[in-house]
Amino acid sequence: MKSLLLTLSLLLSLSAKADDLPSWKDGSVKSSIIDFVAKVTNEHSPYFVKPADRIATFDNDGTLWSEVPTVEVEFTKQKLDELLQKDPKLAKQEPYKKIIDSIKNKKKTDLTQEEIMTILAKTHAGMTEYEFRMSVERFFQEASHPKLHVPYPQTAYKPMLELLTYLAKNDFELFICSGGETTFIRAVAMSTYGIPSQNIIGTTFKDKAVERNGKLVLVRTEELDLVNDKSGKPIGINRHIGKHPILSAGNVKNGGDIEHLRYSSQGSLPNLQLLINHDDAKREASYSEPGNLSLKAAKKYGWQVISIKNDWREVYDTASLK
Amino acid sequence: MKSLLLTLSLLLSLSAKADDLPSWKDGSVKSSIIDFVAKVTNEHSPYFVKPADRIATFDNDGTLWSEVPTVEVEFTKQKLDELLQKDPKLAKQEPYKKIIDSIKNKKKTDLTQEEIMTILAKTHAGMTEYEFRMSVERFFQEASHPKLHVPYPQTAYKPMLELLTYLAKNDFELFICSGGETTFIRAVAMSTYGIPSQNIIGTTFKDKAVERNGKLVLVRTEELDLVNDKSGKPIGINRHIGKHPILSAGNVKNGGDIEHLRYSSQGSLPNLQLLINHDDAKREASYSEPGNLSLKAAKKYGWQVISIKNDWREVYDTASLK
State the pLDDT at residue B16: 47
Of the listed ranges A90-99, A129-138, A308-317, the one predicted with least confidence? A90-99
- What distance in Å separates the CA atoms of residue A218 and residue A223, rounded to the nearest whole number? 14
Contact residues on chain A for B191, CB-CB shorter than 8 A: none
Name the band, by pLDDT with cuts 50, 70 and 90, for residue A322.
Answer: low
Q: Closest by alpha carbon to B96, among B73, B114, B80, B117?
A: B80
State the pLDDT at residue B319: 78
Q: How far B216 CA lies from chain A's nearest CA (Å)? A: 7
Could you give the ipTM of this predicted complex? 0.92
**B207/A235 CB distance under 8 A:** yes
- In this predicted model, what pLDDT tens digit does every residue of B90-119 receive, in sequence order? 899 888 888 888 777 755 556 777 888 888
**A218/B235 CB distance under 8 A:** yes
State the pLDDT at residue B146: 92
- In this predicted model, what pLDDT tens digit does every residue of A33-53 receive, in sequence order? 999 999 999 999 999 999 999
Question: Which residues on neighbouring strands pair with residue A181, listed in sequence order?
Answer: A203
With beta carbons less than 8 A apart as the criterion, state whether A112 and A76 touch: no
pLDDT > 90 fraction of chain A, expressed in percent and rounded:
80
- In this predicted model, what pLDDT tens digit does every residue of A268-283 receive, in sequence order? 999 999 999 999 999 9
Closest CB to A242: pick one of B173, B186, B225. B186
- In this predicted model, what pLDDT tens digit does every residue of B172-186 receive, in sequence order? 999 999 999 999 999
Closest CB to B259: pick one of A204, A209, A266. A209
Q: How far B209 CA lies from chain A's nearest CA (Å)? A: 6
CA distances from A147 to A68, A138, A283, A317 (A): 9, 20, 12, 15
Average pLDDT over residues B138-153: 95
Of the listed ranges A8-17, A59-68, B43-52, the one predicted with least confidence? A8-17
Question: Chain A interface, mutation test: which of B201, B213, B237, B239, most A Cβ atoms within 10 Å?
Answer: B239
**B242/A209 CB distance under 8 A:** no
Count Cα neighbours of B292 within 13 Å in the Cβ-side half-sphere.
7
With beta carbons less than 8 A apart as the criterion, state whether B136 and A242 touch: no
**B198/A243 CB distance under 8 A:** yes
Higher-pLDDT residue of A292 and A119 is A292
**B243/A218 CB distance under 8 A:** no
Whether the predicted pLDDT of A318 surpasses 90: no
Cβ contacts of A162 within 8 Å, gap of 6 or more: A20, A21, A22, A23, A24
For residue B231, the chain A residue with the least C-alpha distance is A209
**B209/A259 CB distance under 8 A:** yes
**A240/B240 CB distance under 8 A:** yes
State the pLDDT at residue A16: 47
Closest CB to B231: pick one of A209, A232, A240. A209
Tell me how many residue pairs between chain A and chain B have CB atoms under 8 A apart.
Answer: 83
Residues of chain B with a CB closer than 8 angstroms to some CB in chain A: 52, 55, 129, 173, 175, 182-183, 186, 190, 196-198, 200, 204, 207-209, 215-216, 218, 225-226, 231-232, 234-235, 238-243, 259, 262-263, 266
Question: A128: how many CB neighbours lie within 10 A of its CB?
Answer: 17
Closest CB to B242: pick one of A55, A197, A231. A197
- In this predicted model, what pLDDT tens digit does every residue of A210-256 receive, in sequence order? 999 999 999 999 999 999 999 999 999 999 999 999 999 999 999 99
Contact residues on chain B for A208, CB-CB shorter than 8 A: 235
Q: Alpha-carbon dihedral of residues A257, A258, A259, A260, nearest 10 degrees?
A: 40
Question: Chain B interface, mutation test: which of A175, A217, A240, most B Cβ atoms within 10 Å?
Answer: A240
Q: Alpha-carbon dihedral of residues A98, A99, A103, A105, nearest 10 degrees?
A: 20
Q: Closest by alpha carbon to B307, among B161, B103, B85, B159?
A: B159
Contact residues on chain A for B197, CB-CB shorter than 8 A: 241-243
- In this predicted model, what pLDDT tens digit does every residue of B190-205 receive, in sequence order? 999 999 999 999 999 9
